[in-house]
Every structure is written in C-alpha cells, then in structure tokens.
C-alpha cells in the first residue's frame, strides 16, 4: 500500500523541527517540518525525508489526540485544516493558542468522515507553510479498513498519497514574513512528496503501481501557493471525493486542477 495504512491510531506525538534539508534545483535548502517522535527525530513523511512532515492516519468516530511539542526556537501551532474541531483545538494562534519554544499542547478532536485532510502551522503562516510545516491526515472508515475509502465507498488494491508543493529558494534565509520579502513568491522547485521529478518517478512512496484490472486510490493534496494540474499520461480516472467528503456524483476525467489547500481522491483502474 505504498507505506500507507501502517500507522493508523488515535494518539500521536509531533515535534516541530527547523533543521531539515532538501537538495533541489541544484541547491541545498533548509526545511522546517513536523516529525513523528515515535519514528525518531529527523524523520518527516515515511521516516526517510524531512519534507513533507509526518502524515497521520486515524479512524472515523474515534477521539484523537496529538501531543505537540515545540522543539524548535520559534513559536508554532498545528492547524487542523478541513477538520471540524472546536476553537481551542483549531491551532490558529490568534483565536486558540500559540505554542512557544519548549512548550507543548495536547490537541484533541473527534475524527470526522473518512477522507483526506490536512494540517499545517498557522503561526506566520505565509512563511512557515512555504518552508515545509505541513502534512496530511487520512481518516479511515469506522472499520479501520485500509482498502476502502469510506464505509460503503470504493475499494482498492493500492493506495498512494501525493503531496504537491513548491519552494522559492529566495525564501530560504527568511525568518519571518515581511512586505519587502514574502510579498513575492517565485517558485523554482516543484515537488511530489518532497521529491523533484526524476526522484519522484522512482520514489517507492510516490509511484502508482497496480496490476492490470486492479484499482489504485490516489489521494492528492495541493500544499503550494499556486494551482496544480494533475494528469496521468492520458489515462482516465474517477474523481470520487473532495476535501474529505465523497462527491454526490463521481466523474471521470483525464485532468484535475487543484487550488491551494485542496484535496481530491482519485480512483484509477
């Protein structure tokens, strides 16, 4: 299942880190991210890269806790993007709380409808988001199945998560957003799961591999500051869910466009 479905639970420990690295566009860029402390320090998505941050898988209807420890030298939060939570657990600093360096906070919420969701830092969001402080939350159906999209929904043989993002190398030295700096974003780095094209094509966590006649489920998150266009070399696919909810009527297409922060679930045969 391309590494998904291996860490389903209801209790997680996330730490913020600002010591990550990424080599892209011929440069060494610094990365800020969240690591799952159960996977060891320095591990973001799938434990083998700093960008994107660690992803989380929970079960619909269960109470979920995220123990967030700010292990960095800058204030951060965890905003649960797209999940219906109360204000205290929403992770927007001006309306809930900001976690200062060395501090911690226990986010608590009930997992909503099975689907694809998002989390990111909401402190100086313009900069922190672009530097890599984002990840994906997958809500599994009440049965806990990792081969069914939601209760009574599509089933599949293979599951892959694509987290699309961009980076502007000029922002690599910024420590805070400001009109004379972050007013302009000129992306030169285009990533799938933190990998540029050549590496993404061979990345075990990004490739979509399924036997003839089988079905693959592709979850796509656009964590970039511009629209993204997804196509599969002319292969048609069914768009079955958007932003964590099933579509009333799924539709078949060969091209999908996503705005910043949007998530779509695709069924491929």
pLDDT band at 2; cut points 50, 70, 90: low
**5 — pLDDT class (breaks 50, 70, 90):** confident
Burial label, 105 (beta-carbon count in 10 A; 0-12, 13-18, 19+) = buried
pLDDT digits (tens, 9 = 90+) for 106-139: 999 999 999 999 999 999 999 999 999 999 999 9
- Prediction pTM value: 0.94
23 vs 2: which has the higher pLDDT: 23
* 91 band by pLDDT with thresholds 50, 70 and 90: confident
DSSP at 170: G
The values of phi and psi at residue 125, to 5°, are: -55, -40
Pick from 45, 81, 69, 185: which is nearest to 127 by CA?
Answer: 185
**Owner of token pair 């200062």:** 100
Strand boundaries in 121-227, DSSP class E: 134-140, 158-167, 189-192, 216-222
Taking residues 156-167, what's their average pLDDT?
Answer: 97
* The pLDDT of residue 53: 93
Query: Nearest 5 degrees, angle CA 14-CA 129-CA 221?
Result: 85
- Per the document, the length of the chain is 269
């Amino acid at each position: 299942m391309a590494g998904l479905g291996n860490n389903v639970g209801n209790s997680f420990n996330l730490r913020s880190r600002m010591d990550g690295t990424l080599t892209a566009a011929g440069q060494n860029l610094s990365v800020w991210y969240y690591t799952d402390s159960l996977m060891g320090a320095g591990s973001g998505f799938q434990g083998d890269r700093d960008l994107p941050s660690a992803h989380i898988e929970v079960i619909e209807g269960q109470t979920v806790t995220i123990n967030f420890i700010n292990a960095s030298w800058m204030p951060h939060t965890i905003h649960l993007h797209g999940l219906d939570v109360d204000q205290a657990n929403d992770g927007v600093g001006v309306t809930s709380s900001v976690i200062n360096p060395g501090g911690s906070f226990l986010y608590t919420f009930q997992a909503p409808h099975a689907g694809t969701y998002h989390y990111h830092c909401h402190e100086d969001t313009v900069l922190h988001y672009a530097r890599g402080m984002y990840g994906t939350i997958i809500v599994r159906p009440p049965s806990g199945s990792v081969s069914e999209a939601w209760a009574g929904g599509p089933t599949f043989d293979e599951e892959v998560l694509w987290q699309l993002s961009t980076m502007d190398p000029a922002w690599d030295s910024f420590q805070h957003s400001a009109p004379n700096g972050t007013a302009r974003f000129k992306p030169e780095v285009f990533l799938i799961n933190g990998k540029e094209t050549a590496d993404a094509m061979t990345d075990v966590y990004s490739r979509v591999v399924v036997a003839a006649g089988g079905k693959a489920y592709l979850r796509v998150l656009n964590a970039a500051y511009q629209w993204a266009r997804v196509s599969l070399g002319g292969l048609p696919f069914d768009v079955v869910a958007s932003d964590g909810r099933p579509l009333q009527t799924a539709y078949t297409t060969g091209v999908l466009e996503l705005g910043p922060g949007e998530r779509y679930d695709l069924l491929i045969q």
